[in-house]
Structure 1
Amino acid sequence: MNDRDRTALDAGRLQAPLARLLRPLVRIAIRSGLTFPALVNLLRELYVNVAENDFALTSKNQTDSRVSLLTGIHRKEVSRLRGAGAPVNVVPASISRTSRILARWLADAEFSDRAGRPLPLPRIGSAGEASFDRLVESVTRDVRPRVVLDEWIDRGLVVQDAEDRITLVEQAFVPKSGSDQQLYYLGRNLHDHIAAAVANVEAQTPRFLERAVHYDGLTREVAEMLERRSREIAMDALTSANREAHAAAGEENAGPWRWNFGVYVYAEKVGGADDDADGGEGKP
């Protein structure tokens, strides 16, 4: 089998899993009003950008002809699109700030207990005492703690009691449905998950841990119980990983690398079976 046949075979085998992973993205695109022509334009730009930057030859300059050959896009279109760059995924300042403050609240022994539970904090503490103001100022001095507090109260992230103590309501930053923050994490988390899976497919030895436990043929009650329990297990794992990362990451260990540890839980009804049908045995 020559390289051309092997490429064609790989492309054919890729279509089924690609169609499956794209289906929910097509659903949200249609629901949001992103039309097929607009998506095609986006894909065309991405194809040219990826071919230009990720498939360049070390000994030769990348040419319009080679990018056209790799992508199947007409050379005139390639010439027009080259150098335009892929869409930039910049972390909104409010998301970065909130994530860093929450991470410290959940990981730093000054602001959390030994189990990783965030302590209720006085808004303004005495000198050397843990407080909400001290927490915010330990992460950023670009925004006043009162501004952060008002924003978090408005979003339901914290509550302020009669004794002026601040309590974290959610142990994770859960953006409002459809918000810019949620869309940012949609792109970030799915990118990293897919990138890990693709890296494993392309490598002779899988580099990243990318596994799931899945059971089919369950009753609705069992599926809902497993969903609740898996949430608890996932939060324990995330809290533990956050504490270790917080302890290891510091100015003395600053560098160009980034790390992401994520989990997901999903359940759905498949087919037309009754909810009270006997559940079948699944395999992890």
Structure 2
Amino acid sequence: MTTDPTRDPFASAMAQLLGPLAQAMVARGITVQEATEALKQALLDAAMDLDGATVSDSRISLRTGLHRKDVRRLRHQTKDAPPSAAMNAVAMVLSHWATTPEYQDADGAPLDLPREGTPGLYDVIRRTRVDMAPGTVLAALLDQGVVSELADGSYRLSATALIPTGESASMVAAYQATLSAHLQAATHNLIAQPGAERQFDRAVRYSHLSPASIEALSALATARAQDLLEDINAEARRLQERDANTNPSGHYAFGAYQMCQIPKEDEQ
């Protein structure tokens, strides 16, 4: 069997890149028909982002291989609201409440806050500049269990980080937000022109490690990454407060991940 030397190596890499996503799809019962529809929408969005919103249906069809009838249908189809919007708002409120001096006691612990007032919970929500009504954000905070209502009507911060669990919509939103940001950075680096600025994207990979070594590395990475995330979170909140009057629109994301794979005894 011969290999086509003109074939883009990215095409060969796609099966492995899509492997983890396919696992999530199978686990959640997503069919190939649903996946195909999502891919069509993503290809359309990418083509319009590259060539502009007024690009012709024929041009999009030529670039992507989409049938023109699909292009026409998708261009006029109402999109669902991003599932990550509420989760982003919750995360922003947690960050502000946990790191802003006005909302902390003398020991640096988050204060219990009334709904209204200064300081107050709605005051925290408004300072995050999220595009959602304070009542909607409060409902999301209570639904996620990161805020509890006290007997006197005030609210207590129960967690300083949003870590969704189970098969909830919040878990899907977190999955989307985390992976999409990392994938955007990696994709930018992949298609960037020579000399263009690249995003920071580094990883350390080792194999042939014992379970004890993996656990030691995991503990070290978790502690160091958590400290760094908290430092960047506090600085980002401070800078956002400073930039509030300039009507800024820039986005920034920083994350950390690790993958620990310990083989079962019968696989060793």
TM-score scaled by structure 2?
Answer: 0.77
The answer for the alignment partner of 2:165 in structure 1 is 176
Query: Which amino acid in structure 2 is aligned with residue 234 of structure 1?
Result: A
Identity within the alignment, %: 27
* Shift, 1:187, TM fit: 1.4
Q: Distance in 2 between matches of 1:76 and 1:164?
A: 55
- 8 Å Cα contact 2:112-2:154 kept in structure 1: yes
Say yes or no: does 1:62 pair with 2:55.
Answer: yes
Q: 1:71 to 1:113 in 2, by over 3 A?
A: same
Worse overlay, 176-185 or 232-241: 176-185
Aligned pairs for 1:114-133 within 5 A: 119-123=109-113
* Shift, 1:25, TM fit: 1.0
The answer for the alignment partner of 1:282 in structure 2 is none
Q: 1:135 to 1:187 in 2, by over 3 A?
A: same
The answer for the alignment partner of 1:109 in structure 2 is 101
Q: 1:77 to 1:100 in 2, by over 3 A?
A: closer
* Shift, 1:209, TM fit: 0.4
Q: Distance in 1 between matches of 2:248 and 2:43?
A: 30
Please, which of 200, 205, 209 is the counterpart of residue 214 of structure 1?
205
The answer for the alignment partner of 1:196 in structure 2 is 185
Moved runs in structure 1, 4+ residues, more than 6 A? 159-167
Please, which of 246, 252, 261 is the counterpart of residue 237 of structure 2?
246
Q: Distance in 2 between matches of 1:38 and 1:183?
A: 16
Identify unmatched segments of 5+ residues in structure 2. Answer: 128-132
Q: Deviations over 1:201-229 (max 9, x none)?
A: 11224511011122211111111121122
* Shift, 1:265, TM fit: 1.6
Q: Distance in 2 between matches of 1:80 and 1:49?
A: 13
Q: Distance in 1 between matches of 2:105 and 2:7?
A: 55
Q: Distance in 2 between matches of 1:14 and 1:138?
A: 45
Query: Which amino acid in structure 2 is aligned with residue 180 of structure 1?
Result: A
Larger Rg: 1
Q: 1:192 to 1:165 in 2, by over 3 A?
A: same
Identify unmatched segments of 5+ residues in structure 1. Answer: 275-284
- 8 Å Cα contact 2:148-2:156 kept in structure 1: yes
